[in-house]
Copies of this chain bind each other. A is one copy, B any other.
Amino acid sequence: MKFESQPSYSLGQRTPASREVAAGENGGNVTLVSQSALGAINRGRVLQALYDNGPKSRADLARLAGVNRTTITGIVQPMIEDQLLVEGDASPSDVKGGKPARPLYFNPDAPMLGAVLLLPGTIQTCLVALTGEIKAVAKAEFDTHGETEAFIAVMTETLTATLSQAQQAPFGIGVASAGMIDSDNGTILTVNLAPVLTGLPLVAILQERFSLPVVIDHHPRALLVGDRWFGPGRGQQNFAAVYTGEVLGGAFFIDGKVYRGLAGSGGELGHSVVQIDGALCNCGKHGCWETVAALPWLRKEAARLSFPHPKSVTCARLVKEADEGSKAAEELLDRYTRNVAFGIVNLQQTLSLNSYVLHGDVAGGGMKAAELIRQHIEQLVVKRPGQEISITVNGIGEGHTALRGAAGLVLSSHLKLVI
């Protein structure tokens, strides 16, 4: 029998710029699941279930995962021997009768996670325990326009100071960085305001110096992962993290996985268009969400409305002044939160994640700002039956959230959540 080359019902035509995938190049990313990978995957999933749900007995885990009890035993036993997990005291069973369950959880003395937050001009490092506790924080500054070698020296020194305080080698090092990051290759593409970092293969460098697994991702995605492991996103399978401030950004957790997009892009929400031919944006386009929902807009409006010290207006300040009875603050807050809502509305219409965690300036406004945003979204979104939209803030602790996120990056890659 002879086959024709490739039966083609691709009736459409492609524009010239289209990628040539028809030749079957892209088919290369078909991957089968190997036997050994399966073990690693299931081990990771058990750990994640344990992490998401808190201390649980083997039997509970088996029920949760829908597998045999013996399977769980086989998975957790080596981990107990490795001192990663510990068996708790028999808890009085909630059901009547039966042998009491022995809950399992992470060993408080288990290795910690190294975390680095890299912003233009400053490095922050710390250790994060699996409980989310932050220890051994160190800070340093670097010359944003200096020599690469100098930066690496500062980074190494700071990180060494932090890591040396760990009882035992940490699981790995997670780096959250501002700017454009190629997380697949572990390099920093560009960071505005810090040209010294351009093109830096930071993962390779740190991996070599510390002989530990190193992962890097950009700031919003670190916030997302931090939420997933240590914050309001814990245990959730679908949610988004939204950052507002001088710029706007976002990151998505979709179907139990961090969405990274092609080459680590995606989530550049700030430059989605909410006002065709609207105000000019820093990016050179018009009507980006960033032109109406970031701090510059808020401060310009505050100036126009003759607020005192408009340059220092924040969401937190507006909430405070509104609570103190300022009508003007209340109105501006309402407009601000409405503008923020539009971006989330578009996200909701597109992906229907239903759950959003706010960071940055708007998170400073706390529950009140979140509730205002939620109400605006409710009014702006086309509602589906049974759909509830949840808005959460995670703004307390500021940099700590990002540091936990960096640590979470290590967890995510360590547990091989991706299949």
Chain A residues at the B interface, C-beta cutoff of 8 Å: 1-3, 5-7, 9-19, 21-22, 24, 26-35, 38, 41-42, 45-46, 48-49, 52-55, 64-67, 71, 86-89, 103, 105, 131-133, 180, 189, 230-232, 234-238, 250, 254-257, 259, 261-263, 265-269, 271-276, 278, 283, 285, 292, 339, 342, 345-347, 349-355, 357, 363, 366-367, 370-371, 374, 380-382, 384-397, 401, 404, 419
Contact = CB atoms under 8 A, between A and B. Distances in A.
Contacts of A13: 366-367, 370, 392-393
Contacts of A346: 272-273, 346, 350
Nearest to A16: B371
A353 B30 contact: no
A271 B9 contact: no
Q: Which 7 A-B pairs have the closest CB atoms?
A: A9-B132, A18-B390, A6-B54, A261-B352, A12-B394, A265-B352, A30-B49
B276 A292 contact: yes
A22 B234 contact: yes
A345 B131 CA distance: 40
A353 B2 CA distance: 36
Chain B CB within 10 Å, residue with most, of A5, A55, A87, A273 = A273
A6 B54 CA distance: 5
Contacts of A55: 3, 6
B9 A230 contact: yes
A73 to B, nearest CB: 13
A347 B230 CA distance: 29
B350 A269 contact: yes
A400 to B, nearest CB: 9
A304 B34 CA distance: 63
B31 A33 contact: no
Given A13-B393, A349-B269, A46 B26 contact: no
A355 B285 contact: no
12 contacts: A6-B54, A9-B132, A9-B404, A12-B357, A17-B390, A19-B390, A32-B67, A263-B387, A269-B349, A271-B381, A271-B382, A285-B382
B31 A53 contact: no
A385 to B, nearest CB: 7
A298 B48 CA distance: 51
A351 B89 contact: no
Nearest to A256: B29
B66 A232 contact: no
A12 B276 contact: no
A254 B259 contact: yes
Nearest to A190: B385
A6 B28 CA distance: 43
Contact of A273 (B274, B354, B401): B274
A139 to B, nearest CB: 21
Nearest to A285: B380
A90 to B, nearest CB: 11
Nearest to A367: B13
A27 B7 contact: no
